[in-house]
Amino acid sequence: MIVLLSAPAPCAAQIAVKSPRLSKVLADYSAAIEDLAQSASPAVVQVLVQTVAPLGKGDTQRMGFVSEQEATGSGVIVDPDGYIVTNAHVVQNARRIDVNILRSDERGQEPHGHLVPAKLIGLDRQVDIAVLKIEGQNLPALSFLNSDNLRQGQFVLALGSPLGLQNSLTHGVVSATLRQLDPESPMVYIQTDAPINRGNSGGPLLDVEGRIAGINTMIFSESGGNEGIGFAIPANLVNDVYRRLRKDGRVRRGSIGVIPETITPRLGAALGLDMDSGVILSDVAPESAADAAGLEPGDVVLSIDGKPMREARDLILAVFQRAPGDQLSMEIQRGKERMSKTVAILERKNEPGQLEELANYDAALVRPLGILAVTVDEKVNLIMPDLRRLSGVAVAAVPAEYAGLNPGLVAGDVIYSLNNQRIASLDELRNALRDKKSGDPIALLVERSGQLIYVTATLE
C-alpha cells in the first residue's frame, strides 16, 4: 500500500535559507555518491537461478515429485574476463544460472540489462561463497579492499537486486567489524545498518572508493524485511575463497591439531599466568602438525604471523583462512620463556561435506534412493582416504526434495553392494536399481565411519 502524505505549503516566512557552505557540502556529498554508483553499478549483476523444489510437502502421495522454481540474487564481477562472486546459497542445486548485466549496446544507449548464461566454477558452503563465469572480455570489475582495516562507523554502500529490483543502492555504516554469530563456527561477519533485503545476497558492500568491503549474505529480522541488522562476509575471506575456487573448483580446509581456549581472569589466576586474557592451548593432538612443531598443552599463543591472539576464535580463524601446505609463524609463551614456532597446516581428512562439491545435481541424482552420489575415484579418495575398498559409490548429499525416498543413507556413506551385487560405479548402481520395481526389498552394504553396515528398505 502506498500512502500519499500531503501538507499545506509553507509560507515564505517559514522557509529557512540554508547556508551556502552547508549546501555545497551536501551537493558534494550527493555528487560523490552519484559518481560512485555510476562507476560501480555496471560491475554488479543480478543472478537468476532455476532450481527444483518438492511438491506437496507433507503429502505422501506426492513425495519425491518436484517442480521447477526460479530465484534471484546478486553478484559482482571481480575480474574483467567474467569471473563473478556471489553467495553459495544463491546458486546451490541450480539447474541453470543466468546473470543480468548492465551494459550499453552499439547504439550508445544508457546501460540496461542483458541476460547471459553463467557457468558455476565452484562453491564453498561453509563460507557461503560461489564463483561463476560468463563469457566476455574487458568487463567492468571491482577490486577487494583489505577488510582488516575496516572500522566501526565507516560509511558503506550496498548494491544489488533486493526483491528482484535490479541495480538498487542503499547506504549506511559499519556497525561492527568482526561479528561472530555462532560460537562454534570460525566465521565472522561485517555488521551493517545499510538496508539489505532478500535478493541482496551475493551483492557487494562497498566503501566510499567503490572497493568491495564484503559480500552481503544475511539479515536478522523478525518481520522478514530489513531492520537495520545486516551481515556481509569480509572481503579478505571472500578474496581467499574466490582465488581457491577459481584455481581448484573447491576449497581444501586445513588443521594443525590444537584445541585453543580463551584465557579468562579466573583461568589465568588459577594457572598462575601473568595475563588475564589471550589464548592457551588445552590440547595438542599426538602426531599432529602442532605436535611435530613442538607445541605443548599449556602453551600460550601470543601472535600468529605478527597478529595478536586475543581470544580462541582468533586462532581458529587464522587456521581457517589458510590452505593446506601453508605455514603459520607462531609466537608462544611457555612458563616464563617466549619462543617462536613454525607450524605447517595439514589437510583435514574424512570430511564428507566436501563430497557435495563434486556432485553435479542432475548427473549425481539417484532418485530411487533420494541421494546425490558420485563414483569413488581419486578425488573422493583425497577427501576420504581410508576407505575399506577401492571402488564404490559415495553419498554426496541427501536433497530435501527427495528425502522421503531415502532409506537412511547419510552424506559420507559409501555403497559397495546392492542385494549382494557388487557396485563399483554410479552407472552400476543405477543399472542395479533399474531392474527393481516398486515394493522390492533392497539391502545396501555401506561403509559408514569405517564400519560396514546394511541399510535396508522397500523401494517406493
Residues 244 and 177 in one domain: yes
Domain at 454, CATH number: 2.30.42.10
| SS3 state at 91 | helix
Distance between CA atoms of residues 184 and 167, nearest Å: 36
Is 29 within a domain?
A: no
Average pLDDT per consecutive 10 residues, the chain (460 residues; last block may be shorter): 42 57 83 89 92 58 61 94 94 86 65 84 89 93 94 93 85 90 81 89 93 92 74 94 89 89 92 90 93 95 94 89 91 94 84 72 86 90 86 88 83 93 95 90 91 87
pTM: 0.73
Cβ–Cβ < 8 Å for 200, 160:
yes
Is 28 within a domain?
A: no
Is 33 within a domain?
A: no
Is 16 within a domain?
A: no
Is 270 within a domain?
A: yes
Q: Give residue 17's pLDDT.
A: 52
Is 23 within a domain?
A: no
- 380 Cβ neighbours under 8 A, 6+ residues apart: 355, 358, 374, 394
Residues 442 and 365 in one domain: yes
Residues 369 and 420 in one domain: yes
Residues 259 and 338 in one domain: yes
Residues 331 and 371 in one domain: no
Q: Give residue 74's pLDDT.
A: 94
Residues 220 and 258 in one domain: no
Of 204, 192, 271, nearest in space to 230 by CA: 192
Residues 370 and 447 in one domain: yes
Residues 275 and 339 in one domain: yes
Q: Give residue 347's pLDDT.
A: 80
Domain boundary among 327, 347, 367: 347
Residues 174 and 87 in one domain: no
Residues 71 and 125 in one domain: yes
Q: Give residue 393's pLDDT.
A: 96
Of 141, 170, 142, 144, nearest in space to 156 by CA: 170
Is 12 within a domain?
A: no
Domain boundary among 330, 347, 364: 347
Residues 389 and 357 in one domain: yes
The per-residue b/e assignment along 388-419, b for 16 or more CB within 10 angstroms, e otherwise, is: eeeebbbbbbbbebbebbbbebebbbbbbbbe
Q: 433: which DSSP letter?
A: H
Domain boundary among 133, 162, 197: 133
Could you identify the residue written with the cell 535396508?
456
In one letter, which amino acid is 336? K
Residues 337 and 375 in one domain: no
Of 355, 296, 303, 372, nearest in space to 332 by CA: 303
Q: Give residue 363's pLDDT.
A: 82
Cell triple for 222: 523478525
Cβ–Cβ < 8 Å for 190, 150:
yes
Domain at 217, CATH number: 2.40.10.10
Cβ–Cβ < 8 Å for 455, 441:
no
Q: Give residue 418's pLDDT.
A: 95
The number of distinct structural domains making up the chain is 4
Catalytic annotation, residues: 89, 128, 201
Is 36 within a domain?
A: no
The number of CA neighbours under 13 Å toward the Cβ of 314 is 20
Range of the domain at 240: 147-248
